[in-house]
Structure 1
Amino acid sequence: MTQIKTAPQDDLNVKTVAERRAGNRNGRPWTAVERHKLRGLIERGLPASTIARTLRRPLASITDMATSLGLLFNSE
């Protein structure tokens, strides 16, 4: 039998889900003012999609930052 050689994972630049979610995803960094606005909008009970449009950020970015800040969206 012939053995197939594979490259080590480090050489493939493969990132795990946790590595992709850590920090930002090649977007612009969050400012303290944006984090403050995010917190306030969530506390007002606005849905994530509305907050994403208001802050002009992707929905995934909004939910990721909310999670990292320990904030939960109202599910009414």
Structure 2
Amino acid sequence: MNSKHEEHALAISIWESEGGAPNRSGRLYQYGRRFEGNGTYTIHHVFTGQAAKIGSWKMEGLSRKNAARALCILNNPQEASD
């Protein structure tokens, strides 16, 4: 059985292979990483504070490594597709 962190890494990989961030208009949204009290991270939109989503998956409960990877992709979608 895969751990939750392994499932998150797989979901990020699938998302990247399907094109990454859905908004390719050139307008970059700014996301941040928030450390939660349970030892995990949440990626959130810095202006609204709401958790980012990849499809229906809310980006909550992430390991530090997966949060850093997702944060990089969300803040630099053009670089992620190169």
Alignment TM-score, normalising by the size of structure 1: 0.29
In proportion to residue count, which structure has more strand? Answer: 2
Which structure's CA Rg is the greater one?
Answer: 1
In proportion to residue count, which structure has more helix? Answer: 1
Higher relative contact order (CA 8 A, sep 6+): 2
